[in-house]
Amino acid sequence: MRFHTFNFFCKVFFSAIFSPLILSNHWNHSLEDLDVLIISDHTILQNFNLDTSGFDGIERTFVDPSIKLFEKICTEIGLDAAILNIEDLAPNHSIYSRQQQDIIYNHYDKILLEAAENDVTIISLHLDAEKIEINDFSQIPYPTNEDQESFIYEGGAQLILEQDKFSNETLEFAHRLLFSRFLDLIESQGVTIRPTYQTRLRLQQNISMSIAGQSKGGAILIELGALDELKRLFVTPENIAVNLSDPLRVVANTIAAHRKAHWLK
């Protein structure tokens, strides 16, 4: 998930004055021509961004090879696909401060909005936490234990939409994927599906999905599995990607079918 705080006025002020130093224009894909935008939302871990760098601060290390492989698979079946990472919007692909990162996230959200307006299918790929004990019940609507003091979140592969902001087409796309072979193939690799999410979507608050979900091309956040479990099963980030290639191929084919059905390709 993406947890970033921001001060809108501060961002607008600084982005107006310092944009050339903070943002770069080297990510310049034409969103009008694009079929699929692949995002990860997270930053690469530095000393000012533990809260945005995903699970244990290492999510990007473990998900990036799967993201690259997914782009390749999309391209192979004729979809025009591109990856957008936060640091792709920074000069030299590196972010040097929290303030700069906040401005870049603001710009990133604008690109997501433009992509959604251009009917691009937006796929956000993540790795989940395996088990977390939390005292706040609101964070875990369906805990797996009945202990009154704390609640255990049991993660795994699952499909997520922002809870109340998505187009009809996004809901349709999400169901196409939910009832495709995607989760079965993930499971056949030994990866755990989040308990009770085999046949339903997870609805929760998510900034990227609240923007991307408006697209007629559909959008979804996919947790490919719990990071620690994937690490136990496949050891390296590259080997995780190799072992998830069949399910990722199903996602690509589902995108192609959805776009064809809506005359978007």
Q: Which residues bind Zn ion (CB under 5 A)?
A: 54, 126
How far is 10 from 5, CA to CA, in rounded Å? Answer: 12
> Residue 244 has which token pair?
């998830």
Give the shortest CB-128-to-Zn ion separation in angstroms: 7
Q: Which is nearer to Zn ion, 90 or 226 (CB)?
A: 226
Residue 253's H or E segment, with its range, is helix 245-261
227, 56 contact by CB (below 8 A): yes
Give the shortest CB-217-to-Zn ion separation in angstroms: 22
Give the shortest CB-83-to-Zn ion separation in angstroms: 15
Q: Which residues contact 65 (CB under 8 A, 6 or more apart)?
A: 237, 238, 240, 241
Q: Which is nearer to Zn ion, 56 or 172 (CB)?
A: 56
Residue 38's H or E segment, with its range, is strand 36-39
Q: Which is nearer to Zn ion, 183 or 209 (CB)?
A: 209
How far is 24 from 212, CA to CA, in rounded Å? Answer: 22
> Residue 163 has which token pair?
């809870």
Q: For Zn ion, which residue has the nearest CB?
A: 126
Give the shortest CB-9-to-Zn ion separation in angstroms: 28
Q: Which is nearer to Zn ion, 22 or 230 (CB)?
A: 230
Q: Which is nearer to Zn ion, 158 or 254 (CB)?
A: 158
Residue 69 neighbours by CB distance under 10 Å:
18
Give the shortest CB-226-to-Zn ion separation in angstroms: 11
> Residue 141 has which token pair?
């609507």
